[in-house]
Chain A
Amino acid sequence: MSRSAVAWGLAGAVVLVGMIVLPSQLYTGQVRVVTAVLMFVALAQAWNIIGGLTGYACFGQVAFFGIGGYATAVLMEHANWSFWAALPVAALGCAAFAALIGLPLLRLRGHYFAIATLGVAEGMREVVTNLGRLTGGGAGITVPTVGGRGTAWLGNDGFYLLFLVLAALAVAVAALIGRSRFGYGLRAINQDEDAAAAAGVNTTRAKVLALTISAALTALVGSAYAFQQVTIYPQRLFDVDITVIMIVMVVIGGAGTVLGPLVGAVGLQFVSEYLRQHYPQEHILVLGAVIMIVVLLFPSGLTGVATRSGMLATIRAYRL
């Protein structure tokens, strides 16, 4: 293990310990806000693996979130599973789904891939909406948490810990992939897929594996989210805005890095929470303007500004 890996590991451990004791210092409302931040840290890291590292702009990532959530709800409601059994099974099932759609879809490049995955996500929402018997349709499905059925609701602090574990897991997986041979293969695909293939990277296997890992992490978060919300609806669990928020967070922070999505998720979630509380009417409008400004001014991400002197050079390279 290199020295920098040890240093980063130690820093991560310190932050993790700090995060574990944090809730005792906060009000309930604040714990909820930080829990949402942790959820988006995990989601942004998950998207970063396929979108940032591999360079495949998956615009249907929310499909994995929704499938994870609905698989958990259906298993708990109809099969009487406990949440702790449903969580890993939902993630594995979603990983299998991702591998299945990844094989044909990852042959597409650029916008075609983005739109095909968007189509899958929108299609999945319609499927879930129309399978009313299993999923409750548009009226939603309620996870059993009371009356001896299912698993007792975890409480605010419990969900805080659950999302903390998921966020730490996502960061750890992203960091491990980033330093591995597999991760270098993904970066090579990002820069020039034909050259990567010529250099001996099994591009199909690498891409499908990246999408599968990304989907499994996203499904874990979706599963926990469904349990936290208790009642879930297709409109919310397959909301395309969730995909876009993940992407915005990764881009703001810096795509393809481990630190970037972390910074982006924490920053954007706090900003959007502030806007929601202070400008309830216009907060989405302001959010849209913030997205546009960030894309135009920081196209290489906030961490890119700190590590690379070439921010102006990037802006110049991107313009016509």
Chain B
Amino acid sequence: MSALAQATVYGLLQGGLLAMIAVGFSLVWGVMNVINLAHGGYVLLGAYIAWELHAAWGLDPLIGAVTGGLVMFGVGYVVQRLLVNQIVNAPIFLTLLLTFGLQLVLVQGMAVVFSADYRSIATPYASQAFTLQSFGLADVRVPYGRLLAFVVAVLATAALVVFTQRSRTGLAILATGMDRTAARLMGINARHVYALTAGIAAALAGAAGALVGLVGTFSPPDAARFTLLSFVISVLGGLGNMYGALLGGLVLGVVQAWAGQYLPGTWVNAVAFAVLVGVLIVRPAGLAGRAFYEARVEAT
């Protein structure tokens, strides 16, 4: 019983972080129908920025997360404006290829600069933990680092939801996602809005990368795993549905933690993909509702 509770707690905490990584990916996919295969690379760039700040000046990973987020916002904006915008209307495998090429450049570039060694950002508090004694679960540990990462991740995801649904810029993003032609006729600069969307996604990914460094280890080849997990979560949640991404992240985190607890070997990875393919076949619009991009009016 307590093993199950521990796995569930751990899965939820991990799931919040995964949701933060995936929510930007889902937003980009939903608004501009682009799958950014370099998304995992953005996560790791953020992680390395935070790691460098910590190694050089001993800055806390939370400050690293803010810095990494700001830097990655710029990177995401420029990449979208200069590269991805050039082929937004092309058949999908061209955007997939472009971002895959970018992913190769990022991952290999990081491997050359930082080496392929596993790194982590050591803080005095990350491995400290309290137990859920007051809930009658005395042997369920909750590490402060993971709890902090979870809280920050959920707050950031919630902030993105409020931003897109309440602010003028956020509404412009949603409007462009629904009908680009109409949005442009209303005076929205679609090129800028697309770049802004990609920048926000990259910023969240970069900040989440710093939190990944806070709670565990990372190395350049991890990028592909973060991209794949973002896929799974976006599909689980329904594209462009940001609450859905949060839900999908938590579900995937818990499912993976349970699989890790009860299945031998590396079956845990197979479970994630089985969930993905199963959801696609049974409920392609995601657990939380309808797909965003599918519903848009396509006018050219």
Contacts and interface: CB of A to CB of B under 8 A. Distances in A.
Interface of A: 51, 55, 57, 59, 104-105, 107-108, 110-112, 114-116, 118-120, 122-123, 126-127, 129-130, 240, 244, 247-248, 251, 255, 281-282, 284-285, 287-292, 295-296, 299, 315, 317-320
4 nearest interchain CB pairs?
Answer: A288-B104, A291-B101, A126-B270, A123-B273
Measured as residues with beta carbon below 8 angstroms from the partner, the interface class of chain B is 35 or more
B97 interface: yes
A247 to B, nearest CB: 6
Contacts of B265: 129-130
| Residue of A114, A284, A296 contacting most chain B CB atoms (<10 Å) | A296
28 contacts: A105-B277, A110-B33, A112-B284, A118-B228, A119-B231, A123-B273, A126-B267, A129-B266, A130-B264, A130-B267, A244-B97, A247-B93, A255-B91, A255-B93, A281-B112, A282-B108, A284-B108, A285-B109, A288-B104, A289-B101, A291-B104, A295-B101, A296-B86, A318-B86, A318-B89, A320-B85, A320-B86, A320-B190
Contact of A120 (B112, B277, B284): B277
Contacts of A107: 281
Contacts of A122: 228, 269, 273
Given A292-B83, A299-B87, A319-B87, A114 B105 contact: no
Given A287-B104, A299-B94, 5 more contacts: A108-B284, A119-B232, A282-B108, A320-B85, A320-B89
A123 B87 contact: no
Nearest to B90: A318
A123 B104 contact: no
A40 to B, nearest CB: 16
Contact of B100 (A104, A112, A291, A315): A291
A240 B94 CA distance: 17
B75 interface: no
Nearest to B194: A320
Interface of B: 29, 33, 35, 83, 85-94, 96-98, 100-105, 108-109, 112, 190-191, 194, 224, 228, 231-232, 235, 264-267, 269-270, 273-274, 276-277, 280-281, 284
Contacts of A59: 96
Contact of A116 (B83, B96, B276): B276
A119 B277 CA distance: 6
A105 B281 contact: yes
Contacts of A130: 264-267, 270
B105 A319 contact: no
Contacts of A295: 87, 94, 97-98, 101
B276 A115 contact: yes
Nearest to A121: B273
A57 B83 contact: no
Contacts of A317: 89
A221 to B, nearest CB: 20
Contacts of B267: 126, 130
Nearest to A295: B98
Contacts of B109: 285
A269 to B, nearest CB: 17
Contacts of A240: 224
B256 to A, nearest CB: 13
Contact of B281 (A116, A127, A285, A320): A116
Contact of B103 (A55, A112, A114, A288): A288
B97 A289 contact: no
A240 B91 CA distance: 20
B280 A116 contact: yes
Given A119-B273, A122-B228, A292-B102, A320 B35 contact: no
Nearest to B180: A320
Nearest to B104: A288
B96 A318 contact: no
A112 to B, nearest CB: 6
